Structure 1
Amino acid sequence: MDQLEDIRERIASSAAIAGRRPEAVELVAISKTHPAEAIAPLLAAGQRVFGENRVQEAEAKWPALRDAYPDVKLHLVGQLQSNKAEDAVALFDCIHSLDRPSLVAALGKAMDKAGRKVPCFIQVDIGEEEQKGGCSLPEVPALLASAREAGIPVIGLMCVPPFGIEAAPFFALLAKVAADNGLDQLSMGMSDDFETAVLLGATHVRVGSALFGARPKN
C-alpha cells in the first residue's frame, strides 16, 4: 500500500535525522470512523497497530478483524468515559487518554477485576485549551503518582497541540515534562506534524488521514 510505505519512509527519514532508530517509533494507524474494508489493505500490507476513538465503535468493528489477524494491537486514542473502563480494559492493548483522577480509579478497578494491566499514557492539555481533554501540566506528577498507586502501568505522556500553531514547541515541552517525571515514551504527532514529532522524540505517532484519506461524513 503506497500511503503506508510513504509514511514509514518519512518516519525513518526523520528518525535518521534525529539519530534515532526507525523501529523506535510505533506507527499507530488511526482507523476511527473507517469501515473494516478500508482497514483490510493496511492489514494485508503488514500494519498491526491501530487506534480507535470510541469503545463502542471498536467493539463493533474489530473482533472479526482480530480473528483474521490475531497479532493486531489496538490503542484507544480518544476520550474515555469512566463507565466504559471495563470495556476498554477488555478490548484495548494501550490507552492514550488517562487524564483525570476519576478515570484513574475506574481503570485501576477494571484492571484489577480483569487481571489485565493495560499500558497507559497520561494525556496532557499541552496548549491549555479548555475544550480538549487532558490534565494540566502542573497536575501531571500527582496524576502519575495516583495512577501508579492504583497499579496502572503509565508508560508515557500524550498530547494534541493547538490547531494551526507550530507544533514543535509543544512537542518539546511534552518531552521535557516526560523526562522530568521519569517517563520515556511520547504519544505525539498526527498526519500533519508526525515528522516534527519524531524529530523531537515521539515513540508513537497517530496517523489517520494521511493513511486513509478524509474521514467519512456521518
Structure 2
Amino acid sequence: MEQGFSKANSTNLPRIHLLMLGEFLASNKDFCSAEFRNVKTSMSSRPSYGDDAVSYVQLKREGDICIVKCKVCPEHKVHAKLYSVTLIMDEQEEAVKSIECHDCVASQGGCKHAIAFLMWIHRRSEEPSCTSVECYWMKSKLSRAGSTLKYLTASEMSNAKPSLPSNTEVFEKFLEEGKKRRLNNCEVIKYQNDYVFDQTESLSMHTLVLKYKERSCDRFLEKIALSDADVYNIEK
C-alpha cells in the first residue's frame, strides 16, 4: 500500500452514480472515440470481468479530491504483472476528473482496464447498503486461478444470473420455420421429438438408443436387425 493511502471498503469508497458516469464518458475523448465506443466499452465494462479482475483497492482524500487506486488482473494472462489504475474524482462537484491505466500499452487512448475499474466503482455505488463492511484490499479472483483457486463453476462465473432472460419464443419460431422448409441438415431440428428420420438416419446409434432404451447391451443388440442393404447404405 502506498504512503498516505488506506484500504478501500464498502464504507469509504466514493460514489459514482449514473449521471457522473455518463458525463465523464461523453466528455472524455479517450472513451467516446469511434475505435473505443459501443462494443469495446460494453465488453470492458461487463461485471463478469471487472468484478473478478479488480484487486487491492486503496484510496486517499485531499480535501474534495479523492484518489482511488487499484490493481487489475489481465484477462488472458492471469499470472502476469497486474496493471495499476488510478481514478481521480471531485466529491464536492460529483465529477470524475480522470482515470488512467499506467502499465497497459493502450492506456494513452483509454484502455479496457480503466473502463473495468470505473464500472467496478459504479457497481459498488449502486449496491444497497448493508450492516457488514466489505474490504476491497484483497487479491482478485482471476489472479487466484490455478493457485489458491483451482477452478470456477459456471454459476460463480456469472454470479448465478443469466445474461439474458429466459425466452423460448425465438427458438420455437425457428423450429416452426424449419419444419415448414423441411430442413434436413440442421442438428437442432433432428433432436426434436417429432422429427421423422429417413431410413439411414433411423439406424444411427443415437436414434436406436432412444428407440429401444435397453439397459442390457445384449438385449439391445438382439433388437437391432440390419439387412445387407442397410449396412451398404450406412457404409456409403
Structure number with greater Rg is: 2
TM range (shorter): under 0.3
Provide TM-score, normalisation by structure 1: 0.27
- Which structure's residues are more often helix, by fraction? 1
